[in-house]
Amino acid sequence: MENKTREFINFFRREFETKFKTRYCVNFAKDGFIVKKLLAQYDYSTLVNAAKEYLDSKDDFYQHVGHTIGLFSKVVKEIIKQRRKDVTASSDIKQFEEVEDEL
């Protein structure tokens, strides 16, 4: 298993166990395959930030079925897309305020 893949799985496991006070059972074959594919699409820090957001989510569905790397892989694209929208909106507001200050 590649370094970043193992590193991410260990990060996810630690975050999960800290947050939920229960053991996260890693299936290294399955989770490793999933994380390797995710790392081909996104850089490590993007995945870490998205995973933190995912694990912090109060969504009833996640609370019911659990927070797993498999489910994370299904929602990571939406989490990242939403974060980019939020950053763009925040940037637009800041630019507007700067222009407003100049007036």
Q: Is the pLDDT of residue 26 over 70?
A: yes
**What's the confidence (pLDDT) of residue 102?**
46
- Can you give the pLDDT at residue 51? 96
pLDDT value at residue 91: 52
What CA–CA distance (Å, rounded) separates 103 from 101?
5
For the record, the structure tokens of 92 come out as 């637009």
Q: If you ran DSSP here, which 8-state letter would residue 91 be given?
A: H
Residue 84's pLDDT is 74
Residue in this structure with the two tokens 């079925």, named with its chain if needed: 65
Query: Cβ-count burial of 51 within 10 angstroms (0-12 exposed, 13-18 middle, 19+ buried)?
Result: buried
Quote the CA–CA distance of 81 and 97 in Å, as a whole number.
Answer: 24
pLDDT > 70: percent of the chain: 81
The string of pLDDT tens digits covering residues 73-103 is: 999 999 988 877 665 555 544 554 454 454 4
**Does pLDDT of 61 surpass 50?**
yes
**Residue 30 confidence (pLDDT) above 90:** yes
The residue ranges of every structural domain in the chain are: 3-102
Q: How many CB atoms lie within 10 A of CB 31?
A: 23
